[in-house]
Structure 1
Amino acid sequence: MSDLNHTNTDRNADPLTNEPGAHPIGTGIGAAGGAVTGAAAGSLGGPVGAAMGAVVGAVIGGLAGKGAAEAVNPTAEDAHWRDTFVREPYYSDAYTYDDYAPAYRAGYQSVIDGRGDWNEARTNLQQRWDVDHRQSSRLNWMDAEPAAKAAWERADRIWKQTKQE
């Protein structure tokens, strides 16, 4: 398919190079986390070591965040869950896809954001469900959690699989 058939949002074009597949949020989150970790590790070498550690950590973290963001495609995840949510064991016909979608989005976004452990992601998601993630969903956290976990596990598998390739 040619680029003429895709909008800029479909291509996720890099704002500088116009190349498809830019993931500035994933890269930025990874860079920030890497900078903190690198600075802490480099602090053993004094202020210069901390500064160098922050720079190296930011680069490595940025690449990791970009990798997760490239591996886990939100458009593909939304399409997957829209097609399969009614076959999930937690599904209730009292709810629509629009009720489950914020939980799925929060789950796979946690992997993109670098939460490499479900327990860490779960704690964060539970704390933020009513404030940030729930939107217009009618699900309370107890009903949303299985959907968020399913999306997190799927995204985590995709991310780990691409790291091995």
Structure 2
Amino acid sequence: MNDVQKRDANLDPITKEPGAHPVGTGLGAVVGGMAAGAATGTVAGPLGTAVGAAVGAVVGGLAGKGVAEAIDPTAEAAYWRENYGMRPYVEDKANFDDYGPAYAYGVDAFSRYPDRDFDDFESELHRDWGQQRRTSSLDWDRARPAARDAWDRVKSSSNMPPATR
């Protein structure tokens, strides 16, 4: 496999298997694994905390990879392109170019926060919408229902349990 093929294959940094999702792997490590590993290791003192965090990062990274790889962004984009016009929040004469970035943002949000409720991090999404909106003319109040709709759709298809608080 040449360098371009290796890059395009998204090789897993640990197993070298193709198809690693860098965002999901990295975020799974940070969000899920390190905290759990550190909490478990704390019983053994400061050194246990550090070791627990490192082990937890690897395990969490693999979990995040699984969630992110379960989402097919191409299929999601195709679904929303075909169905956006039937959604109750879509304004008359609106086009997909306005709503598409919001749907993509919702899918991405789920890949970053699969174990949380949308409402728990909605303020962060609102804050960052201006940088994520690309060509959309929608402000956050109009984009939010589309992002939430996409987030709900991938969450329900991923068989993730409800978030725990």
Q: TM-score, normalised by structure 1?
A: 0.81
For these two proteins, the number of residue pairs brought into alignment is 151
- Write the deviation string for residues 7-59 of structure 1: whole angstroms up to 9, x where unpaired: x7xxx623368855321211111012221342244223212211221122112
Aligned to 1:3: none
Relative distance call for 1:41 and 1:161 in structure 2 (3 A) is closer
Mapped to 1, the partners of 2:48 and 2:62 lie a distance apart of 21
1:13 to 9, 12, 16: 9
Aligned to 2:105: 106
Aligned to 2:80: 81
Mapped to 2, the partners of 1:50 and 1:159 lie a distance apart of 31
SS at match of 1:43: helix
Tell me, yes or no, if the aligned pair for 2:11 and 2:18 is still in contact at 8 Å.
no
Give 5+ residue unaligned stretches, structure 1: 1-7
- Write the deviation string for residues 62-107 of structure 1: whole angstroms up to 9, x where unpaired: 1221111111111111111111000111111342111111111111
Mapped to 2, the partners of 1:49 and 1:126 lie a distance apart of 38
More helix by share: 1
Q: TM-score, normalised by structure 2?
A: 0.81
Relative distance call for 1:60 and 1:108 in structure 2 (3 A) is same
- 1:25 equivalent in alignment to 2:23: yes
Aligned to 2:59: 60
Q: CA RMSD in A?
A: 2.2
Identity of aligned residues (%): 46
Q: Report which stretch shifted further, 17-26 or 46-55.
A: 17-26
SS at match of 2:88: coil
Aligned to 1:128: 128
- Write the deviation string for residues 105-163 of structure 1: whole angstroms up to 9, x where unpaired: 11111111134211123222112112x2222211011110110010000011122269x
Give 5+ residue unaligned stretches, structure 2: none
SS at match of 2:45: helix
